[in-house]
């Protein structure tokens, strides 16, 4: 009888272990093949929600995008955040874009692109003024938020636009 109970417990434990491992992998989007190392000075950067080295927390890490064309052509939903390294970020737009990346991780990947160093991408998406946001899936533009068309807007407006574009936003991931 003890042997039977031991076998059952081992089977249940093993099944739970493998179920937990599979579940964690399911939540990770298939973008890592397009990304490189951590980088805070790359002109095309992905905001990746992952564990912070040496801490028990998750947060946004900056990773270089090594294959932007492959990422844009993939089935992944990508929000391109066009900015200029010559303009000051007085409204905290980059911090807001990080929050959106954190809240949409697993649904959408946010990519920050410096228009001064990426003329090809800026031209392809007809970026005339910054900041500007474009959602792309499978190489096709899904939606666009042109900040310059509004007299006033906030990152909450951008988050609402992301939701209206069909991307689920999980605000519970924001650290309070």
Question: Which residues make beta-bridge pairs with 94?
Answer: none
pLDDT, one tens digit per residue, over 20-30 is: 333 333 344 58
Tokens for 64?
Answer: 């270089």
Cis preceding-peptide flag for 131 (omega within 30 of 0): yes
Backbone angles phi, psi at 135, to 5 degrees: -100, 130
Instruction: Give the range with max mean pLDDT: 7-11, 12-16, 71-75, 168-172.
Output: 71-75
Task: Tell me if the domain spanning 31-173 has CATH number 3.30.70.260.
Answer: no
d(CA 161, CA 166): 9
pLDDT, one tens digit per residue, over 40-61 is: 999 999 999 998 887 878 889 9
**Helices (H) and strands (E) in the chain — how many of each?**
5, 7
Residues 78/71, Cβ–Cβ less than 8 Å: yes
């Amino acid at each position: 009888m003890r042997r039977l109970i031991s076998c059952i417990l081992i089977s249940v434990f093993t099944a739970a272990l493998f179920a937990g491992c599979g579940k964690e992998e399911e939540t990770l989007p298939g973008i890592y093949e397009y990304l490189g190392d951590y980088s805070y000075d790359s002109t095309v950067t992905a905001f990746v929600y992952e564990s912070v080295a040496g801490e028990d927390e998750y947060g946004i890490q900056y990773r270089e995008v090594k294959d932007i064309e492959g990422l844009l052509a993939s089935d992944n939903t990508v929000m391109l955040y066009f900015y200029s390294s010559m303009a000051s970020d007085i409204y905290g737009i980059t911090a807001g874009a990080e929050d959106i990346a954190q809240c949409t991780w697993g649904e959408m990947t946010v990519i920050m692109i410096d228009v001064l160093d990426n003329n090809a991408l800026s031209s392809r998406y007809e970026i005339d003024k910054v900041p500007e946001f474009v959602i792309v899936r499978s190489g096709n533009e899904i939606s666009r938020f042109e900040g310059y068309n509004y007299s006033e807007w906030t990152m909450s407006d951008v988050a609402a636009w992301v939701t209206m574009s069909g991307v689920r936003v999980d605000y519970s991931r924001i650290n309070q």
